[in-house]
């Protein structure tokens, strides 16, 4: 679907490229993809995790466009057979904008991807990045520990850098020496000593870390623990009096512990060093302007009852309006924050089997699981039940200890109505009823439900509201104002306002 049609014959390519970047920022895109195909260059935006077609550039202008991007990102334009990296630094409406650019030769030309680095979320601080109250308290307690390791874990694109930077911001006080080793340095923060890894000249994570320890640090941030040597240095630094903040590519508390114990580190040192594990995933956030409410299915009621012991009748549901993409706008993090108490530390040291470890981590509600945190956020209207099911991994997130919950999620446990009615079958249990906006928003005893706008429960198509209602207690719900952005490089006329409806809904899901 051609979403934006440029007049390639008459509009200079310089202007078109500027406009593409401005449009991407206006639409909160995290990346811009330029995909060469045999007959065109496809331009796509990644918005809230999904790629959306934006424009098709005819073959005759393909090379010009790629060259223009390579020029402004400081790449060698005579080289098109080897991968290259570049960067664009510019300003939009006085706000600094950093973009990281990558060019990769593929059979149909050069594929260019522009990553738009957005620091605004990290800069909101640890209090405003989507932690539930209970989890926020835990994270703050971890950050008060003078030495040890705090790991944020998750897949690529799970927002773990945002969380890590927000933690560093809290630790960033004048009396502290913070040194980071990153690949790449994503966000420059005043007060931090940030080291860029350059493996090609031998400055690896491990090499940089060895030097850092001679720089009298209090806090060390390691971009990512990727290998045994980095892990060993991290542990050694932690037990010699430093607070180490890092990330690792695992998906939940137990998998992280398993992964770390598989590395070549003495278990008793690991048990001593680990302070906290934050696992994170991103779910799409329901658009607060148009979200509706619908009766929950028996299946949903059962899963919510088993997971968070709540009886609910209704669930929030996506509707869709001019301000969002299919009822969603932005994303909300789902967390699992595990504080390592002495029992868990001992279990790591003593190689306790995984299922025993599971009960130590989750038993007595000590750690709120990703599913539980997600369902609470769904019940409170931040996201939808469907989104939580999408981000939960039934294979790896559950074990023997929570077999009943796993069966409930798989739709293999009889629901209440099926129990009452012997004829009830599994099919009926997972059936989804038609969406009918209910008059009352769901409220739960767990947290105050965010204020709903009057349009949330009216069946008519939502009308634009003159004033956007923002609950001051829910900064997550603040909708950024659609600033008119402009590049300082040249004057751009943005023309008419863009509507999300133009995107269509056949975008692909890569999560």
Chain positions contacting Zn ion, by CB under 5 A: 287, 289-290, 321, 323-324
- Element (DSSP H or E) covering residue 205: helix 205-212
Per-residue tokens: 61: 């202008």
**Cβ-based nearer residue to Zn ion, 94 or 480:** 480
Cβ 391 to Zn ion, closest distance in Å? 20
CB-CB neighbours of 120 under 10 Å: 9
**Cβ-based nearer residue to Zn ion, 165 or 500:** 500
DSSP character for 203?
A: B
Cβ 484 to Zn ion, closest distance in Å? 21
Residue nearest to Zn ion (CB): 287
Distance CA(339)–CA(480), nearest Å, equals: 34
Cβ 471 to Zn ion, closest distance in Å? 16
Give helix then strand counts, H and E, for the chain: 18, 16
**Cβ-based nearer residue to Zn ion, 217 or 327:** 327
Distance CA(13)–CA(274), nearest Å, equals: 53
Residue located via tokens 């038993």: 363
Angle at 368 between CA 367 and CA 373, to 5 degrees: 160
**Cβ-based nearer residue to Zn ion, 34 or 385:** 385
Cβ 336 to Zn ion, closest distance in Å? 29
Distance CA(165)–CA(119), nearest Å, equals: 9
Helix, strand, or coil (residue 40): strand
Cβ 320 to Zn ion, closest distance in Å? 6
Distance CA(53)–CA(69), nearest Å, equals: 19
Q: In what order do the strands lie in the sheet with 95-106?
A: 84-92, 95-106, 109-117, 29-36, 40-47, 50-58, 508-509
**Cβ-based nearer residue to Zn ion, 271 or 326:** 326
Cβ 327 to Zn ion, closest distance in Å? 6
**Cβ-based nearer residue to Zn ion, 421 or 436:** 436
**Cβ-based nearer residue to Zn ion, 419 or 465:** 465
Cβ 452 to Zn ion, closest distance in Å? 12
């Amino acid at each position: 679907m051609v979403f934006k049609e440029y007049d390639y014959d008459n509009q200079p390519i310089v202007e078109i490229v500027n406009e593409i970047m401005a449009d991407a920022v206006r639409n909160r895109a995290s990346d811009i993809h330029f995909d060469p195909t045999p007959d065109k260059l496809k331009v796509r935006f990644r918005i809230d995790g999904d790629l959306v077609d934006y424009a098709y550039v005819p073959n005759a202008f393909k090379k010009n466009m790629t060259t223009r991007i390579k020029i402004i990102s400081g790449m060698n334009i005579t080289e098109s057979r080897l991968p290259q990296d570049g960067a664009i630094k510019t300003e939009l409406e006085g706000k600094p904008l950093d973009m990281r650019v990558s060019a990769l030769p593929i059979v149909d030309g050069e594929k260019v991807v522009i990553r738009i680095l957005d620091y605004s979320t990290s800069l909101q601080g640890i209090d405003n990045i989507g932690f539930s109250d209970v989890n926020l308290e835990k994270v703050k307690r971890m950050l008060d520990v003078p030495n040890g390791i705090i790991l944020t874990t998750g897949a690529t694109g799970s927002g773990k850098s945002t969380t890590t930077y927000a933690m560093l911001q809290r630790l960033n006080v004048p009396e502290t020496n913070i040194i980071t080793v990153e690949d790449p340095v994503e966000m420059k923060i005043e007060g931090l000593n940030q080291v860029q890894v350059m493996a090609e000249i031998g400055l690896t994570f491990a090499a940089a870390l060895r030097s850092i320890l001679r720089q009298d640090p209090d806090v060390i941030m390691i971009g990512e623990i990727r290998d045994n040597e980095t892990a060993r240095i991290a542990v050694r630094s932690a037990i010699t009096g430093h607070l180490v903040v890092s990330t690792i590519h695992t998906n939940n508390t137990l998998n992280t512990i398993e992964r770390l114990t598989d590395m070549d580190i003495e278990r008793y040192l690991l048990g001593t060093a680990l302070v906290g594990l934050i696992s994170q995933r991103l779910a799409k956030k329901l658009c607060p302007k148009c979200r509706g409410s619908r009766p929950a299915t028996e299946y949903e009621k059962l899963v919510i009852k088993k997971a968070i012991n709540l009886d609910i009748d209704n669930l929030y549901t996506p509707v869709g309006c001019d301000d969002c993409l299919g009822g969603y706008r932005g994303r909300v993090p789902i967390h699992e924050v595990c504080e390592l108490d002495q029992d868990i530390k001992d279990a790591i040291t003593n190689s306790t089997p995984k299922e025993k470890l599971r009960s130590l981590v989750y038993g007595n509600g000590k750690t709120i699981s990703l599913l539980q945190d997600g369902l609470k956020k769904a019940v409170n209207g931040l996201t939808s039940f469907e989104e939580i099911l999408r981000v939960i991994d039934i294979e790896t997130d559950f074990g023997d200890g929570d077999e009943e919950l796993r069966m409930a999620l798989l739709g293999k446990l009889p629901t209440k109505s099926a129990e009452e009615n012997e004829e009830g079958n599994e099919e009926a249990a997972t059936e989804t009823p038609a969406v009918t906006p209910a008059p009352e928003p769901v409220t739960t005893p767990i947290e105050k439900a965010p204020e709903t706008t009057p349009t949330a429960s009216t069946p008519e198509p939502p009308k634009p509201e003159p004033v956007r209602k923002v609950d001051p207690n829910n900064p997550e719900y603040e909708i950024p104002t659609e600033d008119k952005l402009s590049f300082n490089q040249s004057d751009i006329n943005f023309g008419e306002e863009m509507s999300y409806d133009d995107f269509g809904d056949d975008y692909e899901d890569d999560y």
